[in-house]
Structure 1
Amino acid sequence: MAPPLSSLTVPLSAGTAEELGLTAGTLGPLTAVAGALAWIREGRGFVGLGETARFTATGPGRFADLQAQFRAATGGAGQAPGLAGSGAFAFAKITYSKRSPVASELIVPRVVVGHPEASFSRTHGESVRPWLTILSTDPSEELTPELAHAEAVRLAALREPDRERSAADAVTPGALGEDEWVAAVATGVSTINQREVTKIVMARDVVVRTESPISRSELTRRLARAYDSCWTYSVDGLIGATPEMLIRVIDGHVQARVLAGTIDRQARPDATIDDARAEFLGSAKQVHEHRLAIESLVSELAPFAPELVHDSEPFVLELPNVWHLASDVSVKVGDDGRAPSALDLAEAVHPTAAVCGTPRLVASLIIRELERMDRGHYAGPVGWVDAAGNGEFGIALRGTVLDSPVSARVFGGCGIVAGSDPESELLESWAKMRPVLDAFGLERPSTRI
């Protein structure tokens, strides 16, 4: 049985904020701490220091198993008034596939520094000030404001050095070489034309090998700076900056952001966002791919709330490496007093058409055969949960999984429909890997790998 988890949330004092380097109002400096856990966007969010508890699960019941373990440990403990993300808290990473042997995990830090956006407040419009939460599984430990601040300062002093660059650092083939993957995409297109499937999302990986140890904090800091409008995540070796919000649940208010459709900005250096919009909306392939992703999400959320609101027309999301066709979906759930938790909804909508395909079951079988790899945590839900059922889950995209101190897998995926060109999809996959390769200080190899 899991040990009981106790917590105390207190305002972050000005003195401690100064010692932690947070006087500029951003949590960024804390990502330099060795082993820091992070979920931040535009400098706001949550950073965890140290570790108090860890819950693991595998298989089809991994969402429910993790939720049951967390609830048993917290005893249903709530949050500080009006502060979603306060009180008992865990960072989460869940595998893409129920068949993966890789463990899905909830990680409870020793200390959480929270400074979310103002919309987290129940009073909506009040400024939410940063706070500290200290967590413990020791029933004899007295949790006090003084201890919370002291532990935060102690753990924040454990800094991690950046990786030393070497000419030997390299990007090498993953499960499939480029030519093999292009052939697999061609097979996927042929399959779409012959079977009752309209879209499959095919991912590929490359392996980064370094001479000196990889620095998790360096990767997190570089991604957070370069892609501050994305959700930068770092959860025990799963690191990235995702532009896609799978599900956000704050006091019964649910939001999601769907992306499907991509244009590589490097290939169009002089194009404007208006040019991108015209290209997206003028492409039957891009519009079709996006519509499938929206329809998939709406159908999965419908049992929880019949009245959903989503953008009548998608918008263009501008990122440093690509443009995406995007839509936002929002809904209020739990009016009957039985609000689903963030884990409940993440399980209901995962995997979306944006990372799997349509119809989901058929697409999942096809991509498992064609990709010839276990995605592990790539394209799975990543984020945080609290004991009240609040949470945010992004899709673990634009990311890497650290396999060893000197090696990591970097992933990129593409939506394949009837009109897809395999060579164009290969270029798109490299564009999606670019954020992480840049963070490593590496480039796409000049020859096929």
Structure 2
Amino acid sequence: MTSQLSDAVGAQAAGAIPQLRSITIQRPAMSEHGLLDYLTRDDSLVWSRHGQGTIGFGQVARFDASGPERFALAHAWWDALAEAADVQDPLKAPGTGLIAYGAFAFSFSSTYSSRLIVPRIVVGRNENASWITYTVAEPDVVLSADAAEAELASLLDGYSPERELGVGTDKLVDGQISETDYKDAVRKGISIIDSGAVTKLVLARDAVAELGTPIAVAQVLRQLALRYNDCWTYSVDGLIGATPEMLVRVRGDVAEARVLAGTLDRETAPRGDSRYAHRMLLEDEKQRHEHQLAIDSLTDQLGPLASGMEAPEEPFVLELPNVWHLASDVKASLAARADGSVPSVLDLVEVFHPTAAVCGTPTKEAGRILRELEGMDRGPYAGPVGWIDTRGNGEFGIALRGGVIESPTSVRLYAGCGIVAASEPAAELAESWAKMRPMREALGI
């Protein structure tokens, strides 16, 4: 860490490192619904897929950062917090013990504040066990299974109300970019690609859901988790959604990523054509080209950090309720550093973000162009969202298929599309609407 960054960490974190105490207790197996039984409060922190993951309640510590050093600042704060904490964790599994949920801005120039949040109570479940983690900052609070369960029961009693969907004055309106402006931006992007400046741009747009009654966040998250169970449902401090794309998962010395690039709307697919997705994605030159750019970008970044890597030669078609994607799963053994440690999930998040799949190729030049061409602040859209534990394990997806709650009755939705030389503005606009469909359905719009 540079002396300048160390000074910045010291200035931001001075007096802000609480002495946390944390205990994890194994619990009886959950029901078949898994974590959904605990998704009852609008203010929960959520990371869940296939009924596994974690749900957090309350907040005992928090760190906010912005600018180009946001990842390093958050990483340094987390390391200091973990070093000072007293953690009792007999399970020692990824996600047990002290954890923090994180959401980071897509761009260093964003006005959105990147954040790490440590919850007071965490309920978790994996393929082998269920658990509860209880974390406190007060020195006189007794850490015990009974105290943890009593606080959880009290929290669950305060469940949030649901709302009737599809009625009233709910509507979707233009965001910072209208449909016409978006198609114009796509045309300009194609011209830039034709000039040879970049080979791919991922252009995003937004729309605002204006609701007649306050949003029921827990209800929306349950809808997403049930309909899109192959995605990672997330909720971190007003950022909600269900992403199909894993930026990076770290478990010990193994890193994994799921790369998506290439999209086909299922709503417009012909009935009875079983090979439609295969033909339109796997056999389409434009889709395969877009996907290969994303794969090459990831493997180039991961290569220097790995002692071995598994990257498939052929992608597969990922089937979701709203779209099909070309997808590839990449797995790598992380190389040990000079001190014997391996990179943590936050180390890799900083290296990988932004990927070609959400920015373009080459990413640095694409990012510069997007800041001029898109005409909006993405905030946390397409930024990393997920969690980290004190052993460096964690999972961070890319914040896609979601939105940001801006008021009790206003949610800003985002979607982006990969633009290459063969792109068509009208088709890209239609694809963006398909990618907003999960949130529109969950909100009842």
TM range, smaller chain: over 0.9
1:172-228, CA deviations, whole angstroms, 9 ceiling, x for partnerless residues? Answer: 001111011101110100111013200000000001111211111111111111101
Cα 1:272–1:7 shift into 2, 3 Å: farther
SS in 1 for 2:364: helix
> What one-letter code is carried by the residue in structure 2 that aligns with 1:93?
A
1:296 and 2:306 are equivalent in the alignment: no
> What one-letter code is carried by the residue in structure 1 that aligns with 2:381?
Y
1:435 and 2:438 are equivalent in the alignment: yes
* Whole-angstrom distance in 1 between the partners of 2:84 and 2:269: 52
* Whole-angstrom distance in 2 between the partners of 1:424 and 1:431: 11
1:56 is matched with 64
1:419-447, CA deviations, whole angstroms, 9 ceiling, x for partnerless residues? Answer: 000000000000000000001101xxxxx
SS in 1 for 2:248: strand
> What one-letter code is carried by the residue in structure 1 that aligns with 2:271?
D
Structure 1 segment 182-331 matched on structure 2, within 5 A: 182-270=183-271, 274-331=275-332
1:39 is matched with 47
Stretch moving more, 352-361 or 137-146: 137-146
1:99 is matched with 109
1:415 is matched with 418
Cα deviation, residue 269, structure 1: 4.5
1:375 and 2:371 are equivalent in the alignment: no
SS in 2 for 1:392: strand
Cα 1:438–1:298 shift into 2, 3 Å: same
> What one-letter code is carried by the residue in structure 1 that aligns with 2:330?
V
Structure 2 unmatched runs, 5+: 1-14
1:230-282, CA deviations, whole angstroms, 9 ceiling, x for partnerless residues? Answer: 00001111110100000000112110000000000000052556331122122
1:11 and 2:60 are equivalent in the alignment: no
Cα 1:382–1:272 shift into 2, 3 Å: farther
2:77 is matched with 69
1:354 and 2:357 are equivalent in the alignment: yes
Q: Does the 8 A contact of 2:238 with 2:404 survive in 1?
A: yes
1:401-420, CA deviations, whole angstroms, 9 ceiling, x for partnerless residues? Answer: 00111111001110000000
1:177 and 2:178 are equivalent in the alignment: yes
Q: Does the 8 A contact of 1:76 with 1:387 survive in 2?
A: no
Q: Does the 8 A contact of 1:170 with 1:208 survive in 2?
A: yes
1:274-295, CA deviations, whole angstroms, 9 ceiling, x for partnerless residues? Answer: 3311221221110000000000
Equivalent residue for 1:343, pick from 329, 342, 346: 346
Structure 1 segment 17-36 matched on structure 2, within 5 A: 22-24=30-32, 26-36=34-44
1:24-50, CA deviations, whole angstroms, 9 ceiling, x for partnerless residues? Answer: 351012112231111111111111112
SS in 1 for 2:304: coil
Q: Does the 8 A contact of 2:203 with 2:418 survive in 1?
A: yes
1:381-414, CA deviations, whole angstroms, 9 ceiling, x for partnerless residues? Answer: 0011111111000000000100111111001110
1:389 is matched with 392
State the identity as a percent: 48
Give the alignment's Cα RMSD to 1 decimal: 1.5
Cα 1:271–1:59 shift into 2, 3 Å: farther
SS in 2 for 1:75: helix
* Whole-angstrom distance in 2 between the partners of 1:331 and 1:11: 30
SS in 2 for 1:3: coil
Q: Does the 8 A contact of 1:273 with 1:318 survive in 2?
A: no
> What one-letter code is carried by the residue in structure 1 that aligns with 2:254?
H
**Structure-2-length-normalised TM-score:** 0.93
* Whole-angstrom distance in 2 between the partners of 1:6 and 1:276: 51
Number of aligned residue pairs: give it.
Answer: 425
**Structure-1-length-normalised TM-score:** 0.92
* Whole-angstrom distance in 1 between the partners of 2:353 and 2:155: 35
Q: Does the 8 A contact of 2:24 with 2:91 survive in 1?
A: no
Q: Does the 8 A contact of 1:209 with 1:408 survive in 2?
A: yes
